[in-house]
Amino acid sequence: MNQNNQSAEIIKKIQSSTRRGNLITYGIVLAAYIVMQSLVSTGHISSLLKGLLVPVCVYVIAAVSLNLVVGISGELSLGHAGFMCVGAYASSFFTNAYGDGLPNWFRLILAIIVGAAAAGLFGILIGVPVLRLKGDYLAIVTLAFGEIIKNLINVLYAGVDSNGIHISTKSAMDLNMGPDGKQIIKGALGISGTPRLSTFTAGVVLIIITLFIVQNLMNSRAGRAIMSTRDNRIAAESIGIPVTKYKLLAFAVSAALAGAAGVLYSHNLASLSTAKFDYNTSILVLVFVVLGGIGNIRGSIIAAVILTVLPEMLRGLSAYRMLIYAVILIAMMLFNWAPAAISWRERMMERLPFGRKKRTGEED
């Protein structure tokens, strides 16, 4: 009886500390939004930074959603850009084909729903065969699927006329559209002329929704089941947790959120092509996750912001900026994650008068 009480108390403690951690994350996002928005409205912001606001939101959402697979479900996925690609194309097609005349915010919401649903569907389709693999094998297969998605879309031609949607994989001529037809996806040419619906506010709202979904999932019954399959698959299976089902859940939710990031991306640029969504982008998002700390949502956000803004801030160094960027990346990785650097940081923290006390093992 006494033991039960104790463990109940410990659980309560952990729950309240994660809740506090979650609230801090929301707070950081909101504070950043208020600061940036007030800078924009008073005009004290450079055009460059103003232009970076939406891309930053895109990468934050992508990083948080990938963290769900890599950090929470413990699977290495290298095909995240593929899901962004699906979301971007599906939503751009939808926006260009339908929705003329509707208010912008409503068109964007519809686009996000379409993009996230399409990417989520692909997540399930790919997850069913892929999640039977583990570790490195899974990483390689997701990499391959990411490239397959990209190459499929590259040969896709699609248009819309009064008879509905026409799709071909050969050429624009094979669409056989009526005279009122409008060609939208032009194979390798991609989609151009998507109206610019993405705004910073929409991006931040989407980040908050993403955080809400991911953080609540982590602290739910399903989330604990997912984490148990990560920590010890055999033990989880032995107490009757359907491992594949829960891994698939995490994978599909992550894919849908990546799709939403893709929607935001495609509605921010007038020209969309698949070149952007190659494995380099998947790796870039993975770098955000690893640098921010695998399983650490707030870290993912901060890393995505810094690593998106940094290369643009280094423009003054012209050709050297790629080199400097790589050096800074290595230095940041070492500073954040080398054991010696971690213990040095903790010693420093203790010595600072306003510093935090040494951590007692809990993650923030």
Partner 1 sequence: MKKWTRLISVTAAAAMMASLVAPASVFADDVFVIGGIGPLTGGAAAYGTAVENGAKVAVEEINAAGGINGAQIDFRMEDDVHNQETSVNAYNTLKDQGMQVLLGTVTSAPCIAVLAEAINDNMFLLTPSGTAVEAIAGDNAFRVCFSDPNQGTKSAEYIGDHQLATKIGIIYKGDDPYSVGITENFTAEAPNHGLEIVSSEAFLGDSTDFGTQLNAAKNAGAEMIFLPIYYEPASLILKQAADMDYHPSYFGCDGLDGLLAIENFDTSLAEGVMLLTPFTPNAEDELTQKFVAAYKEANDGLVPIQFAADAYDGIYAIKAAMEDAGVTPDMSVSDICEALKVSMQNITLEGLTGTITWGADGEPNKEPKAVVITDGEYVPM
Could you list the residues that contact partner 1 (CB under 8 A)? 39, 44-52, 55, 150-151, 154-155, 171-172, 187-190, 192-193, 196, 269-276, 278, 309, 312-313, 315, 318-319, 322, 348, 351-352
Residue closer to partner 1 (CB basis): 127 or 203 = 203
For the beta carbon of residue 168, count every other beta carbon within 10 angstroms.
Answer: 18
E runs forming strands in 111-241:
157-161, 164-168, 182-186, 191-192
Least distance to partner 1 from the beta carbon of 305, Å? 11
Nearest alpha carbon to residue 265 among 285, 248, 250: 285
Residue closer to partner 1 (CB basis): 49 or 243 = 49
**C-alpha distance across the termini of the chain, in Å:** 31
Q: Are 61 and 204 within 8 A, CB to CB?
A: no
Least distance to partner 1 from the beta carbon of 163, Å? 24
Residue closer to partner 1 (CB basis): 178 or 193 = 193
Element (H, E) at 254: helix 243-266
Residue 81: what residue type?
A
Least distance to partner 1 from the beta carbon of 47, Å? 4
Residue 191 phi, psi (nearest 5): -120, 130
Q: State the burial class of residue 359 (Cβ atoms within 10 Å of its Cβ: 0-12, 13-18, 19+).
A: exposed
Residue closer to partner 1 (CB basis): 128 or 167 = 167
- Fill in the DSSP letter of residue 220: S
Q: Residue 217, CB half-sphere, CA atoms under 13 Å: how many?
A: 26
Least distance to partner 1 from the beta carbon of 139, Å? 20
Q: Residue 108, CB half-sphere, CA atoms under 13 Å: how many?
A: 21
Residue closer to partner 1 (CB basis): 53 or 290 = 53
Least distance to partner 1 from the beta carbon of 154, Å? 5
Least distance to partner 1 from the beta carbon of 243, Å? 35
3-state secondary structure at position 165: strand
Least distance to partner 1 from the beta carbon of 176, Å? 17
Residue 131: what residue type?
L
Residue 61: what residue type?
I
Least distance to partner 1 from the beta carbon of 244, Å? 32
Residue closer to partner 1 (CB basis): 73 or 274 = 274
Residue closer to partner 1 (CB basis): 126 or 272 = 272
Q: Are 249 and 226 within 8 A, CB to CB?
A: yes
Element (H, E) at 272: strand 271-272
Element (H, E) at 271: strand 271-272
